[in-house]
Amino acid sequence: MKNTLISLILLLTSLLTANQSHWQGTLGKSRIYLELNCDINKEQEEKNACRFSRYFYESQLQDIVMQSGGEIAKNRYALQVVHSEKIVEEFILTYSHGMLKGTWKSKGKSLKVALKKLKLNDEYDAFEKFRTKFLKFKRKKVEKLKGSKKELVWISEKHSGTSFFRLGNRFSKTSRNKVNPVLDELQNEFSVGTLSCASPFNYGTGMEAIETQLTYLSENLVGLSFFLNYFCGGPYPDFNTRRHLYDLHNGKRYKLEDILTIANMPEKIRELAFKANGMELKAQEKLKDDLQNGGYDPYDLQYWEHVDWRYSKKGIEFFLSFSTAERCYRGDSYFIPFSLLKPYTNKSFPYELGEEE
pLDDT score of 247 more than 70: yes
CA–chain centroid gap for 102, Å, is 35
Does the pLDDT value for residue 335 go beyond 70? yes
User: Is 78 in contact with 72 (CB distance < 8 Å)?
Assistant: yes
Q: Is 6's pLDDT higher than 70?
A: no
Looking at residue 185, its amino acid is: E
pTM: 0.86
- The pLDDT assigned to 98 comes to 95
Q: Which CATH architecture group holds 132-247?
A: 2-Layer Sandwich (3.30)
The whole-number average pLDDT for the span 272-279 is: 88
Please give the residue that has the higher pLDDT: either 178 or 328.
Answer: 178
- The average pLDDT across 50-69 equals 97
Indicate the range of 15-19, 67-71, 274-278 predicted with least confidence: 15-19
The enclosing H or E element of 8 equals helix 5-13
15-52 pLDDT tens trace:
444 589 999 999 999 999 999 999 998 887 788 999 99
**Please, which pLDDT band fits residue 289 given cuts at 50, 70 and 90?**
very low
> Do the Cβ atoms of 130 and 33 come closer than 8 Å?
yes
Domain boundaries, the chain: 18-123, 132-247, 256-344
Assigned CATH class of 18-123: mainly beta
Average pLDDT over residues 82-105: 97
- pLDDT tier at 320 (50, 70, 90 boundaries)? confident
Burial class (CB in 10 A: 0-12, 13-18, 19+), 138: exposed
State yes or no: pLDDT of 288 exceeds 70.
no
* The pLDDT of residue 239: 78
What's the confidence (pLDDT) of residue 292? 47
> Cβ of 252: how many Cβ atoms within 10 Å?
15
Task: Look at 41-50, 108-117, 348-357 and tell me which has the smallest mean pLDDT.
Answer: 348-357
Which is higher by pLDDT, 45 or 88?
88
Q: What is the mean pLDDT of residues 328-342?
A: 84
The band of 241, judged by pLDDT with boundaries at 50, 70 and 90, is confident
Report pLDDT for 81.
98
What is residue 280's predicted lDDT score, i.e. its pLDDT?
66
Higher pLDDT, 133 or 281: 133
Tell me how far the alpha carbon of residue 218 is from its chain's centroid.
27
Q: Name the residue among 100, 2, 17 with its Cα closest to residue 53.
A: 17
18-123 and 132-247: identical CATH topology: no
Q: What pLDDT, on a 0 to 100 scale, did the predictor assign at position 235?
A: 66
The whole-chain average pLDDT of the chain stands at 88
Q: What is the DSSP string of 173-232?
A: HHHHHHHHHHHHHHHHHHHHHHHH-B-TTSSSB-EEEEEEEEEEE-SSEEEEEEEEEE--
pLDDT-based confidence at 73, cuts 50/70/90?
very high
pLDDT given at position 345? 96
